[in-house]
Chains A and B, each alone.
Chain A
Amino acid sequence: MPRNTIVEVEGLKWKYNEGKEVLKGVDLFIEKGEFIGLTGPSGAGKTTLVLALTGVIPQRIPGDLDGTVKICGFDTRLTEVSKIARKVGVVFEDPETQFVMSTVEDEMVLGLETRNLDPSEIRERVSWALELVGLDKSFLSRSPLELSGGEKQRVAIASVVALEPDVLILDEPTSDLDPIGKGEVFASIENLRKELNTTIIMVEHETEKLAEYSDRIVVLRDGKIELEGDPSHVFSRIDFLKKIGVKPPEVVEITTRLGFNLPALTIEEALPEILNIMKKQSVKNIQAGKSEVEYVEDKEVVLSMKKVKYIYPGGIEALKDVSVSFRRGEFVAVVGPNGSGKTTLAKLACGVLKPTWGTVLLAGRDIKTMRRSELVQKIGYVFQNPDHQLFCQSVREEIAFGLRIIGLPEEQIQRKVEDISKLLGINNLLDEHPFFLSKGERRRLALASVIALEPDVLIVDEPTTGQDYKLCNELMELLDEYRRRGKTVIVISHSIPLILKHVDRMIVMYNGRILADGKPRKILENENIIEKARLEIPQTRILTKKIEKITGFPLPVYTPGELLEVLSTSSVKNSV
């Protein structure tokens, strides 16, 4: 073993008490200073591996461990977790659960006070760590809870970085962040690496970022390492990765399929060669662009909001004079930065909030005149955090909950429970307590419990956060299937690639108003809207925009498939 190996995992197997085996023989060796990108489908065991690296498994969580884990020279079975923590820092997905104190400064000082350091040295480390993550001293007196998502995560990183760990492990640190937030977090980590040569292990679904920053990619699936190697090598296994639920970076997919010797990891790497190909193929005047599904303009309006305004107690004007309608059979995405009013719009639509001004009409009726039991059969809302809406002791009871409130006979309820649970793939969990389901399963349960009532309008808030590519697609397809039954589906999401694939209308919100409303591709051609609303456009489109700038002719394609189609069509035309 090379002398600078900082992580040694050999034959690691782990089984939770009363659970199935999650890790089934993992071997992993990491050298000092490496940036390891750890990815894989949901339920692969990534977080379990993280916990094993910190010693929390097996010291704090009961279960059966086989194999060895050594990190920074510590055997994780024998060395106290708090001692390992002096060398290994961890940042989890949800920064809020990592905050204990009322100010940023106190949060950062928390771990330092136990290190036998002088207050002046603590102060120095706090300033240094804050600067490293790109935050200034004005943040010190602020409450961590008042910060934006990206700022929160950076504070969480700074709190750990101030402890000067040799290894920094980040478990999906950007899953809840908008594109700007994601960029800020990655930039901070890159700074850290440059300055301290810290070994980084990052668990992520964002393969594009991993491709850009990682030295090595490890793909975990079903408790084992399926693929390991440099990013070009790993991500070029396009079909395999998609099959197991990992979305390869779009640029890698494009360049792999184009037959590059070494697939490009970034747009900058790919651009010259693609331009070359296009030059050789004399690709001009391309009739590119997928035609978008036509609006269902002849269908009746099921939900309309007229000049709606909403002011929260405390004075924040979350929605400013919004008028919008939704028709039967539409699949609509509502996008926008955090705080733009998306969730407020959804809550007003389903009657949870009453507008300060304006009216909300459901099938022509003012929702103020409707009883709650009537309303829930017309419009359903699935919250972002499924834990907020699971009330029962079993999956079966949860799905039946709403059906009992509206007074359906028991036989019909049980039949619906069976049907809906099968549709959402949770029929094998009917007697399980929702607490013990995975996050993805709980999300599907929350969806099932609302769909059971068959509302005419279904609003789903961020259904794909933290889920792998395959599950995200399945979920969106499910929603599309629901829509095809003559229902209207409204999805609040950050994920533009998924929106482009499934949705026929997009509403962009910004600062409490509707910035744009129309076909997604048309909206995404507007640079102002993209910038204002902080939308993350697909890597393919960023690439093609650069191509457009250089070549001067339009290439409005959004997916690798479309670009490849364009390039291959041109080559066919030219070869004829």
Chain B
Amino acid sequence: MRTTRSILHEMLGIPPRDSIYLRLHPLTKISVAFLLSIALIFATNIATVILLLVAVTVFLLLAKIPLGTLQKYIVVIISISSFIILAIFLLSPSPEGNIIYKKIFVSVKAEKGTWEWGLIITDKGVEKAIIFISRILVMVLTATLLLGSLSDWEVIWGLRSLRVPYVVSLAIALFFRGIALFLKDFQVIRESMMVRGLDIEKGSLFLKFKAYIYSLTPLIVLMIRKSQEISLALETRGISLKEKTSTLYYKMSFTKNDFLVILSTLAILIFAAFIGGV
């Protein structure tokens, strides 16, 4: 199996190390992420969440995806965890469980009773918070597993092997190419704005906003121009929308490892459903 840069490698510059997992069929890797996503539905108690956390961590280790990748998610994890905690302890209309701590900030005598708002920490609330936060970890690790082990090349050829219409795989190829192109263009546009006196990352929110608006016009103009040029280049290479590919250049086949991994993931899903209380 060809090894190319994973999507995360492209985005974050963190290269994956060669591993058995990386060499699996792209459809296997997509299936693993998909099955783990379904398993997450059953993560309604701590036991299931722990099972899934362990499972996805094992896959990550098998895939030898550098832990550095997770650094980039730390802010996301911390932010949503904080939000979850605040939501559960501050915004629950009627918190369940035994109260561990209670502090009322606002009390309003209303027509049908007294409305109280404040911080109410209950045991069930704590359990709920732990489950949500752990689920976030599973989510993030699953997304990392998918993007860290899959390259855009594999996405395209994986879909092609399913005989998805040519135009779809071409559009996906263009999408990935476009990301690299526009990230680069956005950087240059940002620099050219600085040279004209605007800084997109400094100043008040209003100034940032203004600078942002100005950067969109050249980005869209570049997009239109590139669309024209790329369309022209494709047409003059004989590639059109209605094209049907007569040949599949890369033939990918499933190996023993693929079946083993898919079956294992299925087993995890079934077990999660069982202990999650289906």
A28 CB–B CB distance under 8 Å? no
Q: Which residues of the partner chain B approach A96 to less than 8 Å between Cβ atoms?
A: 181
A338 CB–B CB distance under 8 Å? no
A295 to B170, CA, bound (A): 56
Closest to B229 in A: A97
Per the 8 Å Cβ criterion, residues 497-536 of A in contact with B are: none
Q: Which residues of the partner chain A approach B199 to less than 8 Å between Cβ atoms?
A: 372
A171 to B23, CA, bound (A): 41
The interface of chain A, by Cβ under 8 A from chain B, is 51, 54, 56, 60, 81-83, 85-86, 88-90, 92, 94, 96-103, 106, 109-119, 122, 141, 143, 145, 159-160, 163, 314, 347, 350-352, 372-373, 375-376, 380-381, 383, 385, 387-393, 401-402, 405-406, 434-435, 449-450
B257 CB–A CB distance under 8 Å? no
- The answer to whether A163 and B237 have CB atoms under 8 Å apart is yes
Closest to A86 in B: B238
Instruction: Decide: A380 near B195, CB < 8 A? Known: A97-B233, A102-B177, A106-B153.
Output: yes
19 contacts between A and B (CB under 8 A): A51-B232, A56-B235, A82-B243, A97-B233, A100-B173, A114-B246, A122-B249, A163-B238, A373-B197, A376-B195, A376-B197, A381-B195, A387-B221, A388-B192, A388-B222, A389-B189, A405-B196, A435-B225, A450-B195
- The answer to whether B233 and A92 have CB atoms under 8 Å apart is yes
A451 to B53, CA, bound (A): 59
One of B156, B196, B217, B236 near A85 (C-beta < 8 A): B236
B218 CB–A CB distance under 8 Å? yes
A163 to B236, CA, bound (A): 11
Query: A273: shortest Cβ distance to chain B, in Å?
Result: 43
- Of the listed residues B153, B217, B221, B237, the one surrounded by the most CB atoms of chain A closer than 10 A to its CB is B237
Q: Which residues of the partner chain A approach B177 to less than 8 Å between Cβ atoms?
A: 99-102
Instruction: Decide: A388 near B189, CB < 8 A? Known: A82-B238, A102-B173, A141-B4.
Output: yes
Closest to B186 in A: A388
Q: Which residues of the partner chain A approach B234 to less than 8 Å between Cβ atoms?
A: 100
Closest to B153 in A: A102
Q: Which residues of the partner chain B approach A85 to less than 8 Å between Cβ atoms?
A: 235-238
A115 to B247, CA, bound (A): 8
B151 CB–A CB distance under 8 Å? yes
Task: Give per-residue flags for B192-224: 1 if the beta carbon is below 8 A from chain A beta carbons, else 0.
Answer: 111111110010000000000011011001101
Instruction: Decide: A405 near B4, CB < 8 A? Known: A56-B235, A390-B218.
Output: no
A484 to B235, CA, bound (A): 49
- The answer to whether A351 and B194 have CB atoms under 8 Å apart is yes
Instruction: Decide: A97 near B251, CB < 8 A? Known: A81-B236, A102-B152.
Output: no
A97 to B185, CA, bound (A): 13
- The answer to whether B196 and A114 have CB atoms under 8 Å apart is no
Q: How many A-B residue pairs have CB under 8 A?
A: 171
Query: A478: shortest Cβ distance to chain B, in Å?
Result: 19
A117 to B238, CA, bound (A): 15
Query: B5: shortest Cβ distance to chain A, in Å?
Result: 8
A112 to B166, CA, bound (A): 13
B230 CB–A CB distance under 8 Å? yes
- The answer to whether A56 and B249 have CB atoms under 8 Å apart is no
Q: Which residues of the partner chain A approach B168 to less than 8 Å between Cβ atoms?
A: none
B34 CB–A CB distance under 8 Å? no
Query: A128: shortest Cβ distance to chain B, in Å?
Result: 16
- The answer to whether B197 and A160 have CB atoms under 8 Å apart is no
A91 to B234, CA, bound (A): 11
B180 CB–A CB distance under 8 Å? yes
Closest to B195 in A: A381
- The answer to whether A160 and B237 have CB atoms under 8 Å apart is yes
A111 to B173, CA, bound (A): 14
- The answer to whether B195 and A114 have CB atoms under 8 Å apart is no
A143 to B193, CA, bound (A): 30
Closest to B222 in A: A387
The interface of chain B, by Cβ under 8 A from chain A, is 2, 4-5, 13, 151-153, 156, 166, 170, 173-174, 176-177, 180-181, 185, 188-189, 191-199, 202, 214-215, 217-218, 221-222, 224-226, 229-240, 243-249, 251
A391 to B218, CA, bound (A): 6
- The answer to whether B197 and A391 have CB atoms under 8 Å apart is no
One of A81, A110, A118 near B235 (C-beta < 8 A): A81
- The answer to whether B239 and A110 have CB atoms under 8 Å apart is yes
A372 to B201, CA, bound (A): 12
Closest to B240 in A: A82
Q: Which residues of the partner chain A approach B192 to less than 8 Å between Cβ atoms?
A: 381, 383, 388-389
Query: A333: shortest Cβ distance to chain B, in Å?
Result: 20
A145 to B248, CA, bound (A): 24
Query: B275: shortest Cβ distance to chain A, in Å?
Result: 41
Q: Which residues of the partner chain B approach A113 to less than 8 Å between Cβ atoms?
A: 245-249
A101 to B233, CA, bound (A): 13
Closest to A145 in B: B180
- The answer to whether B197 and A372 have CB atoms under 8 Å apart is yes
Query: A403: shortest Cβ distance to chain B, in Å?
Result: 10
- The answer to whether B151 and A402 have CB atoms under 8 Å apart is no
Closest to B232 in A: A56
A393 to B216, CA, bound (A): 12
- Of the listed residues B153, B229, B247, the one surrounded by the most CB atoms of chain A closer than 10 A to its CB is B247
Closest to B188 in A: A388
Closest to B234 in A: A100
A563 to B151, CA, bound (A): 58
Given contacts A102-B177, A117-B246, A372-B199, 9 further A-B contacts (CB under 8 A): A81-B236, A85-B236, A92-B229, A100-B173, A110-B237, A141-B4, A163-B237, A388-B218, A388-B222
- The answer to whether B246 and A97 have CB atoms under 8 Å apart is no
Query: B228: shortest Cβ distance to chain A, in Å?
Result: 9
Q: Which residues of the partner chain A approach B245 to less than 8 Å between Cβ atoms?
A: 113-114
- The answer to whether A116 and B196 have CB atoms under 8 Å apart is no
One of B191, B237, B247 near A117 (C-beta < 8 A): B247
One of B170, B194, B217 near A100 (C-beta < 8 A): B170
- The answer to whether A111 and B237 have CB atoms under 8 Å apart is yes
Instruction: Decide: A111 near B238, CB < 8 A? Known: A387-B221, A406-B197.
Output: yes
Q: Which residues of the partner chain B approach A143 to less than 8 Å between Cβ atoms?
A: 5
- The answer to whether B232 and A92 have CB atoms under 8 Å apart is yes
- The answer to whether A90 and B236 have CB atoms under 8 Å apart is yes
One of A99, A102, A119, A387 near B251 (C-beta < 8 A): A119
- The answer to whether B236 and A54 have CB atoms under 8 Å apart is yes
Q: Which residues of the partner chain B approach A402 to less than 8 Å between Cβ atoms?
A: 196-197
A375 to B202, CA, bound (A): 15
Q: Closest 4 interchain pairs by CB?
A: A85-B238, A389-B192, A97-B229, A90-B236
Q: Which residues of the partner chain B approach A112 to less than 8 Å between Cβ atoms?
A: 247, 249
- The answer to whether B195 and A350 have CB atoms under 8 Å apart is yes
- Of the listed residues B173, B199, B215, B225, the one surrounded by the most CB atoms of chain A closer than 10 A to its CB is B173
A114 to B181, CA, bound (A): 26
Query: B260: shortest Cβ distance to chain A, in Å?
Result: 28
Q: Which residues of the partner chain B approach A389 to less than 8 Å between Cβ atoms?
A: 189, 192-193, 195-196, 218
Query: B165: shortest Cβ distance to chain A, in Å?
Result: 13
A237 to B233, CA, bound (A): 35
- The answer to whether B196 and A392 have CB atoms under 8 Å apart is no
Closest to A93 in B: B229
One of B4, B152, B224, B240 near A435 (C-beta < 8 A): B224
